[in-house]
């Protein structure tokens, strides 16, 4: 299972929110590159970079941060937040993203999202399936849609999507543990899904459980920043499982 730390960006700074609420913003570091380099120094190879300004303003904003991390580390970066147009995508890939995550656009502009899968291939495009009460949420989680989570994922699997990041919003940033039952159900109702668990990771012993369920990756945010999980622990886990 891939270990994927998260860096969320507001005003060029590394922050975390609780349940996607911008009013709960906590700044952890003024310099995201510093954070990324520390991850890299501990054997981490992947990074989940979220442009929270972009998610709010509905277009890419912090691509300079992406470019800086991509050029000054060897991390493989998946980038999301506010990617709405072909131009946004072009900027993200030119700035060094390995993959992009599309969430709201997959709900509101499915034709655009489908065209990205066609153009770049399913290995470059991750479906962001963020859910509250198993209903897909959009616009930086400010709105809930009427789409049911599992049928939504299945619909895009028909278009060859295999990478899916699923965040249970009720768990995100709460440090109360991830949605094991939800992930088990998603994996039992889909085939060949590369499911990336996100939201709620609070302790190291949750990671082997997620791997056992069959998650392809897990995104860890606040648990690292609040020292619930150390980078040393992650380094050891990566060495043992590689």
- Which residues does the annotation mark as catalytic? 8, 130
H helices, E strands: number in the chain: 11, 12
- φ, ψ of residue 42 in degrees (nearest 5): -105, 25
**Element housing 237 (H / E):** helix 231-241
String of b and e for 90-107 (b: at least 16 CB within 10 Å)?
Answer: ebbbebbbebbbbbbbbb
Is the separation of the CB atoms in 75 and 44 below 8 Å?
yes
Alpha carbon separation from 205 to 23, 90, 94 (Å, rounded): 30, 39, 37
Distance in angstroms (rounded) separating the CA atoms of residues 16 and 25: 6
Helix (H, G, I), strand (E, B) or coil at 27: strand
Could you say which DSSP state residue 82 is in? S
Residue 213 CB neighbours (<10 A): 19
Is the separation of the CB atoms in 136 and 153 below 8 Å?
no
């Amino acid at each position: 299972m891939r270990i994927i730390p998260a860096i969320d960006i507001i005003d060029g700074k590394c922050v975390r929110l609780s349940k996607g609420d911008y009013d709960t913003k906590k700044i952890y570091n003024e310099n995201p590159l510093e954070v990324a380099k520390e991850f890299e120094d501990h054997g981490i190879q992947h990074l989940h970079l979220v442009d929270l300004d972009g998610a709010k303003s509905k277009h890419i904003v912090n691509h300079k941060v992406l470019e800086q991390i991509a050029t000054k580390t060897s991390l493989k970066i998946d980038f999301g937040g506010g990617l709405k147009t072909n131009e946004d995508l072009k900027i993200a890939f030119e700035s060094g993203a390995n993959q992009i995550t599309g969430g709201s656009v997959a709900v509101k502009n499915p034709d655009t999202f489908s065209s990205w899968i066609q153009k770049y291939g399913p290995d470059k495009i991750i479906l962001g399936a963020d859910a509250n009460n198993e209903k897909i949420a959009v616009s930086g989680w400010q709105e809930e849609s009427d789409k049911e989570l599992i049928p939504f994922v299945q619909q895009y699997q028909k278009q060859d999507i295999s990478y899916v990041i699923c965040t249970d919003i009720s768990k995100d940033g709460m440090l109360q543990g991830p949605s094991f039952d939800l992930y088990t159900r998603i994996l039992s109702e889909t085939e060949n899904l590369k499911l990336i668990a996100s939201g709620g990771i609070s302790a190291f012993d949750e990671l082997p459980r997620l791997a056992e369920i069959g998650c392809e990756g897990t995104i860890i945010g606040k648990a690292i920043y609040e020292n619930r999980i150390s980078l040393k622990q992650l380094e050891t886990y990566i060495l043992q499982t590689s």
